[in-house]
Each structure stands twice: as structure tokens, then as C-alpha cells.
Structure 1
Amino acid sequence: MGHKYDPGDARRRRLLSRRLHEIEERLETVERRADRLENTLQGVVREATSVSLGGPCRCGESLLIVRRQTIYCPQCQYRRTI
């Protein structure tokens, strides 16, 4: 009742390990790009007059834009006066 050695198992583990490593690298790249984009956007907003960024919209697709006592989502068009 011992476990039989299957060379396919070792190969499969190596392939999965390599794939996991590739996915981790891609995720790190996407996270760095998202951080750069957010930092750039915050810089642009700081330069613009009477505009600021709020928290994430309820749609989850964008940050809210705050301007003239109104919050606005450029993605789903949610709008509310504050």
C-alpha cells in the first residue's frame, strides 16, 4: 500500500511551480504600474484647481472625483452633492 513514484507528478509540480512564479512576477508588475498610475493621477489632481480625489466609488472601477461640492465617478457616472 505504499505510494508509487510517478515521474509525471514531479514534472507537474515543476510546471506548476514555474507557472506560479510567472504569475507572481506579473502581479508584481501590475501592482507597480497601478501604484505609478495612482501617484501620477494624484500629482495631476494636485496641479488642477478645485479638484480632488475621493475614495473608491461603489462600482469599484474608479476613484471618485470631488469638484464644486459634488462627488462624481467617471466610470459609472454616479454623482452626489456633498
Structure 2
Amino acid sequence: MGRRLRPDGARQRQRPHRRLHQLEAELEENGQRLVRLENTLRHVVRTTADVSVGGPCQCGESLVIVTKHSLYCPECSYQRTV
């Protein structure tokens, strides 16, 4: 008995399955990284006096850091006095 050959279509159907598995693993890893970052940020905000994290900046790349007197985006350097 020789090796059974698959039609080309069967081989192509496997590739998306492998890619999906790879993407699922990356998504899981990124989710874990996000949780670690959120926990770290939560601790920094708790231990730093008069600083909190606001909503997304208008640049869309970061959240705004809020102090008593200003809003600041660490990504685009947007700053506004409150």
C-alpha cells in the first residue's frame, strides 16, 4: 500500500485550520498580557496620589491620565488644563 494522496482542495482546507489555531493562541496570550497590564496600572494608580486614568484620548492610541489640574495623553502629548 502506498501513501494516500489527497486532492489539492483538502490540503488548502487544513491551512486555515492551522492559522485559526495560531490566532486563537495569540489572542489568548494577548488577553493574558492585557490582564497583567491592567493589574499593574491599577496598582500604579492606587499608589500614586491624585492620578487616575480617564477615557480614550482623541488620538485613539492611549487612555488619558487625569490629575487635579490637567488631562494628558502619553501617546500624542495632548494636554489640557482642567
**TM-score between both structures, scaled by the size of structure 1:** 0.84
| Count of aligned positions | 77
Q: Residues 1-82 of structure 1 correspond to what in structure 2 (within 5 A)?
A: 7-82=7-82
Unaligned runs of 5+ in 1: 1-5
Unaligned runs of 5+ in 2: 1-5
Once superposed, what is the RMSD of the aligned Cα atoms? 1.4
**TM-score between both structures, scaled by the size of structure 2:** 0.84
Identity of aligned residues (%): 53
Moved over 3 A (4+): none
Partner of 2:3: none
